[in-house]
Homo-oligomer: A and B are copies of this chain.
Amino acid sequence: MILRMEESSSPNPRKAALTESLLRIVVERGLDQVSVREVASAAGVSIGTVQHYFPTKDEMLAAAFAEVVRRVRARLESVELGDDVRRNLSTVLQEFLPLDARRSEEARIMVAFSARAATSPELAEVQRGVLGEIHEALSEAFARAANGRADEAETKRTAHIAIAAADGLALHAVSAPRWISRPELAATLELLLNRLLPREKDASTS
């Protein structure tokens, strides 16, 4: 699962601190509570300082979303992958589910930005980019698992289902309290892979 590192990430430390404050607000109070004023207050700087780095709120949000995407990408690149396609798919998709505190925070952030992208062209571009990268990587994995027994259209649709189901499970887990437990999330992901990958008896290539 190789997600391309499309841009270098050596952000200005001041800018990085502002982004961190912004993401903290999103996790704790929600994206609708983010404003230049709130970020300045949370970071302990003046409104003018925030505006120096981010002239508009939309630019500030897009930079924060891009930063989260960079983190997800970096983590996916560091995942230990082997020859077992199914295990690789499981490992990668688990990164999108709120299975521990870190991933819960990240899922809350991703859900908030994804939803906001519906009415923000800047965020929509970021969203389209990250979906494209993940979709390409998953399509490759499903094509390898199908081993010639699925055409390209089917492989791409299978990848759409996998990303959509993972994001949908994350959305439901963060938006409805006590709706689905972490073990149940993990078990549901495994059942999804059982259904999307060729069955053992079909998969023999010998």
Contacts and interface: CB of A to CB of B under 8 A. Distances in A.
Given A164-B165, A165-B161, A196-B195, A171 B128 contact: no
Interface residues of A, number: 52
A175 B124 contact: yes
Contacts of A152: none
A28 B157 CA distance: 30
Contacts of A128: 176-179
B176 A188 contact: no
Contacts of A175: 114-115, 117-118, 123-124, 127
Given A118-B111, A120-B30, A154-B191, A172 B167 contact: yes
Contacts of A121: 177
A117 B176 contact: yes
Chain copies in the assembled complex: 2
29 contacts: A30-B116, A30-B120, A31-B115, A33-B119, A111-B115, A112-B115, A114-B171, A114-B175, A115-B116, A115-B171, A123-B175, A124-B175, A124-B176, A127-B172, A128-B178, A132-B179, A153-B187, A154-B191, A157-B188, A158-B191, A161-B188, A161-B195, A163-B172, A164-B167, A164-B171, A165-B168, A168-B168, A171-B171, A195-B196
